[in-house]
Amino acid sequence: MAEKKATTKKTETKKDTKKVAPVKDDVKKQAPAPAAKPKAAAAPAQVGSTIKQEPRIGVFVCHCGTNIAGSMDIPAVQEYASTLPGVEYVDNYQYMCSTPGQSKIDKAIHDHKLTGIVVAACSPRLHEPTFRTATKEGGLNPFRFEMANIREQNSWVHMHDREGSTDKAKDAVRIAVAKAKLLQDLYPKTVPVEKSAMVVGAGVAGMQAALDLAAAGIKTYLVEADTSIGGRMSQLDKTFPTLDCSQCILTPKMVDVGRDQNIELYTWSEIEAVEGYIGNFDVTIRKKARGVLTPKEAAARGIVGGGCNGCGDCDAVCPVVKPNDFEVGMKPRKAIYINHPQVVPLIYTIDFNSCIKCGLCVTACGSEKRAIDLESKDEFIKVKVGTAILATGYDIFPIEKKEEWGYKKYENVITSLEFERLICASGPTGGHLVRPSDGQTPKKVAFVLCAGSRDNTGTGKPYCSRFCCMYSLKHAHQIIEKIPGCVPYLFYMDIRSFGKMYEEFYYRIQDEGAKFIRGRVANILEDPKTKNLHVHADDTLLDRPIDLDVDLVVLAAAIQPKADTNRTRKLFGVSCSMDGWLLEAHPKLNPCGTTTAGVFLAGVCQAPKDIPDTVASAEGAASAASIPIHKGEVELEPYFASCIEERCAGCGMCVNLCPYSALSLVEKEGRKVMQVTEAKCKGCGTCGGFCPGGAIWMNHFTTPQIVAQIDAFLLGGEQ
């Protein structure tokens, strides 16, 4: 140890740190009075006051009930902390985040004239803001606080190693104290918030969020990848448990969205680029070439009274036939098409991947409307918004991957979404449920629940898709209602009817005659002659294997994040969980927020939700997204980089490295130096880590602070 210590002391870094400002000695001199002044362009060389003050650190160890105390020796950690140089005061409490716990910090700052606070507790992601507030209450600058994580990274993972976790907690406290001794006063920057918002995805979640924001007086840009709004819900026939028709309740909302003065709708569009930060996002929207002009666009081109009025004359003459995705491929559409007659906006779109540019539609459209432009190109529109909501929704898991059920191999095995279209009055069969193989009405229908959900094999999804039980109950009801004598068999593991009036709905469907078989379907075999299907399972309640001969099988396929979700989330800097759903800031206490300030989540893109939960989450997201806009300004964490100009060689390498375009080179006193746009800087440290001259100072993560932490760890506290 002694040898190591000697070596470290000899290192260049160490010497350097002593020589150049800002150095530890300087930092030690700082007064509790403001050091780094807000908006001060001054280099950190000037940071610190001349009043000498030795660091006086208070350390507080949290039990977190038994979360921490159950796995380690708290008194030992506290005792150890008291021996660390610079530590003036130590204490512990059952719940440091509670009022009594926070008061301890407040009181100790006053009683012991502390200059820095360390709380050894949970993750800073959870309670750093809490303890900063407590530090501030005690009269210190809130950034004089450092957290030692002894829960998520310690007690929870070393539950059965009391000695080891106690030692690790001591290390964590020692490291935190080393940094706390060097902490400086910092002042958050306040920036104004643009009074507009963006919603990505116009399914029921995005529509609801946009309507709420618009109703709160906020200009809202609603961006939808498809040609019309409505999303998955517009594909559904009826909705559980009330059985109201999906179209009947959704269409009025679609119309509202279409005519709301505060909503600017972009369909057939996607997000191209996002720059900026909360309050000031610069978003580029790619308006994909549609080939058809809206009346407004036509007017802009001087075509008075022109543009698409949805008459469908083009559709009638188009010679290209393609499967209609909205009807899950069960109905044809043309190369120029609308998804269905009730679309909003009622504007046709040309599928340029299949259009042969024969020009028949142009002729049919006529010289008055002149709505069709076969040469139209993608357009890019830049908008500025204060906050954004992602509502990108879901896709159906490609259930043919579970080969045992024969989807796409056996004609009469369909998915629930196909069932929705087949049973829907406006669907491809006019609402008549038929077998795809022969158009016959089925008399026995098997429903395979958990098709690809609750599946840990890697082919499938480990989570519960959360609405399949309920819509399958609804499907059973619809069969019984529409086809006299037809029996639905539901193969299930558990019926998860947890929502309001859901269990009652289950009761009703059972009473109507649906047969429930508790067993997951093992495999399905087709009778090649009749195209009937043999469903093999174990009736686990009867304890007998089953071979059930049915006419039609409906797979309640798992759902997964929409294909484009990953690209979109990266643009907004939002994380996702292991299963691909977008990650909320906190699963319970901040389900609509994300770790990127100003970006929120609505609906299924966060996790599977039924319609009531989706709408609730959308309203929550809209409310959360409107708060910064109504406040008018937001505070930014003062973690930005700054340039120590005398050390900067003006090489400009950092400028190219910065992922946030926050850096630039400016001319100062006849030479080039780097300058930081603080509002854009996220404090990621890329520039600071790279700068060959050590000229970049990362506030709150300064080189001396980090070196002190490393030293504290490697050298056991003897620095």
Partner 1 sequence: MSESKHKFAFYLGCIAPNRYPGVESASIKAMKKLGVELVPLKGASCCPAPGAFGSIDLNVFYAMAARNIVLAEQMKMDIALVCNGCYKSIWEVNHKLKHNKDLRDNVNEVLKEVDMEYKGTINVYHTAELLYNDKFIGVDKVRDSVTNPLTGARIAVHYGCHLVKPHKDREFEQEAMLNTEHPTWMEELVAALGATPVEYRNKMQCCGAGGGVRGYDIVHALDIANEKLINLKEVQVDALTDICPFCQLQFDRGQIEIKEKFGVSYDLPVLHFAELLGLAQGMSPQDLGLDLHGISCEPFLQKVL
Partner 2 sequence: MARSKGYPEALEKKLHDQRYFADESNPAFTKDVKTISRTIPQMCYQCGTCTGSCPSAPRSTYRIRKFMRRAVLGLENESLTDPDLWLCTTCYSCSDRCPRDILPTDTIMAMRNLAFKKDIVPVNFLKTVQAIYSSGHGVPNNDVNRAAREKIGLTRDPPTTHMYPEYIPAIRKILDHYKLKANADRIVKEREG
Contact residues toward partner 2 (CB under 8 A) are 404, 450, 454-458, 460, 493, 518-523, 536-540, 543, 545-547
Q: What angle do CA 107, 109, 110 make, to 5 degrees?
A: 65
Interface characters, 243-262, with partner 1 (x: CB under 8 A): --------------------
User: How many of the chain's residues bind partner 1 (CB under 8 A)?
Assistant: 10
Residue 110 in the binding site for partner 1 (CB under 8 A): no
Nearer to partner 2, 443 or 520 (CB): 520
Contacts of 418 (CB under 8 A, 6+ apart): 328, 330, 554
Could you write out the DSSP letters of every residue in 162-210? HHHHHHHHHHHHHHHHHHHTT------EEEE--SEEEEE--SHHHHHHH
Partner whose footprint covers residue 525, from partner 2, partner 1, none (CB < 5 to 8 Å by kind):
partner 1
Partner whose footprint covers residue 406, from partner 1, partner 2, none (CB < 5 to 8 Å by kind):
partner 1
Q: 9, 110, 125, 409: which one contacts partner 1 (CB under 8 A)?
A: 409
Partner whose footprint covers residue 409, from partner 1, partner 2, none (CB < 5 to 8 Å by kind):
partner 1
Contact status, residue 712 vs residue 678, Cβ threshold 8 Å:
no
Interface characters, 603-642, with partner 1 (x: CB under 8 A): ----------------------------------------
Main-chain dihedrals φ then ψ at residue 529, nearest 5 degrees: -80, -50
The total number of residues shown for the chain amounts to 719
CB of 461 to partner 2, least distance (A): 10
Extract the tokens encoding 656.
């190219």
Contact status, residue 118 vs residue 112, Cβ threshold 8 Å:
no
- Residue reference for tokens 């300058």: 675
Nearer to partner 2, 375 or 547 (CB): 547
CB of 111 to partner 1, least distance (A): 58
Contact status, residue 648 vs residue 44, Cβ threshold 8 Å:
no
The DSSP 8-state label assigned to residue 237 in this structure reads S
Q: Among 228-236, 520-528, 577-585, 615-623, which window interacts with partner 1 (CB under 8 A)?
A: 520-528
Q: Cα(186)–Cα(35) distance, rounded to whole angstroms?
A: 7
Main-chain dihedrals φ then ψ at residue 403, nearest 5 degrees: -70, -20
Contact status, residue 400 vs residue 516, Cβ threshold 8 Å:
no
Partner whose footprint covers residue 522, from partner 2, partner 1, none (CB < 5 to 8 Å by kind):
partner 2
CB of 409 to partner 1, least distance (A): 6
Nearer to partner 2, 118 or 535 (CB): 535
Extract the tokens encoding 200.
């990505």
Q: Cα(601)–Cα(584) distance, rounded to whole angstroms?
A: 7
The 3-state DSSP class for residue 587 equals coil
Nearer to partner 2, 107 or 454 (CB): 454
The 3-state DSSP class for residue 46 equals helix
Strand partners, 516: 490
Extract the tokens encoding 341.
């007659």
Nearer to partner 1, 275 or 400 (CB): 400
Nearer to partner 1, 511 or 547 (CB): 547
Partner whose footprint covers residue 631, from partner 1, partner 2, none (CB < 5 to 8 Å by kind):
none
Nearer to partner 2, 236 or 448 (CB): 448
Nearer to partner 1, 375 or 547 (CB): 547
Nearer to partner 1, 91 or 400 (CB): 400
Distance of CA 175 to the CA centre of its chain: 32
Nearer to partner 1, 47 or 555 (CB): 555
Question: Footprint of partner 1 on residues 387-406 (CB under 8 A)?
Answer: 403-404, 406
Q: 83, 123, 440, 523: which one contacts partner 1 (CB under 8 A)?
A: 523
Interface characters, 447-476, with partner 1 (x: CB under 8 A): ----------xx------------------
Contact status, residue 602 vs residue 206, Cβ threshold 8 Å:
yes
Q: 525, 546, 657, 715: which one contacts partner 1 (CB under 8 A)?
A: 525
H-run or E-run covering 214: helix 204-215
Q: Cα(541)–Cα(521) distance, rounded to whole angstroms?
A: 14
Binding region for partner 1 (CB under 8 A): 403-404, 406, 409, 457-458, 523, 525, 527-528
